[in-house]
Homo-oligomer: A and B are copies of this chain.
Amino acid sequence: MDDRPIGVFDSGLGGLTAVRSLRQILPEENLIYFGDTARVPYGGRSRETLLKYARQDVRFLRSFDLKAILIACGTVSTTALPTLAAENDLPIVGVVEPTCRRAVAVTKNRRVGMIATLASVRSGAYEAQLQKLDPSVQVVSKPCPLFVPLVENGRFAPGDIVIETVAREYLEPLRDTGIDTLILGCTHYPLLWDVIHGVMGPGVTLVSAGEESAFELKRLLTARDARADGARSGTAEFCVSDRAEDFERTASLFLQEDLRHAARRIDIDQY
């Protein structure tokens, strides 16, 4: 048994959907979340800049005595995870590998779609991982750059003409390729589940990155006998690098629960 907390970080608040999954799948674990809201978005930044930011995020989280880290940021998972794993002596789980393993398990026609930010699509990391797991799988990727700002501005309700129009433009060509599985390769996208499902139809299985990472972490902690005491409810602490005032509203959106916690602001440049 190990009651030390799990660290979770993302470039912003999108990673809170992974916190939501962790609270459902590992309700007894203590969590510390860091959202680098002062430097969001990471997508589009260079490899070197991303590695520098990710190292600072990890250094800040490790100022707590952690037992594991979940990288809830697709961009960092696809560009910096191997380096971070080599530099740190604790388990680090990203969003890419667990998600790809799930997609390969559920696809029947071996045609898998992947939507994400431009940077994540460009990295080719999901494609490479899927090919590694099953070379016969055909992958169709599509960047959806407007999904993140639209979600962050509350435009994710089915029937909203703005999100519906943008979603149809992005997803209809993808649907027409005949995929039967679609990876939501960005932690913001679970909020668009209904809209995306509406465009893709019942024949396409959606696989959410954050959720699969939470399952992966559960397996990993169980195998190491490092789960927290199951008799109690875990706590959650939230830190951000920019103004904390708007945190409750946005966090309630991503966690889909009425949040009573405030966030603490920290200076990430000092890490």
Nearest residue, chain B, Cβ from A39: B39
B38, B44, B46, B146: which contacts A49 (Cβ < 8 A)? Answer: B38
Is there a chain B Cβ closer than 8 Å to A242's Cβ? yes
Q: How large is the interface on A (under 10, 10 to 19, 20 to 34, 35 or more residues)?
A: 20 to 34
For residue A85, CB closer than 8 A to chain B, the reply is no
Of the candidate stretches A126-134, A160-168, A179-187, the one touching chain B is: A160-168
Nearest CB of chain B from residue A143's CB, rounded to whole Å: 10
Report if A159 contacts B (CB, 8 A). Answer: no
- Interface assignment of A150: CB less than 8 Å from any CB of chain B: yes
B49→A242 contact, CB < 8 A:
yes
Contacts of A49 in B (CB 8 A): 38, 242, 269
Given contacts A38-B46, A161-B165, A162-B162, 17 further A-B contacts (CB under 8 A): A37-B44, A38-B44, A38-B45, A44-B242, A44-B246, A45-B242, A46-B243, A49-B242, A49-B269, A145-B153, A146-B149, A146-B153, A146-B155, A148-B149, A149-B150, A162-B165, A162-B166
Give residues in A with beta carbon < 8 Å to B. 37-39, 44-46, 49, 145-146, 148-150, 152-153, 155, 161-162, 165-166, 242-243, 246, 269
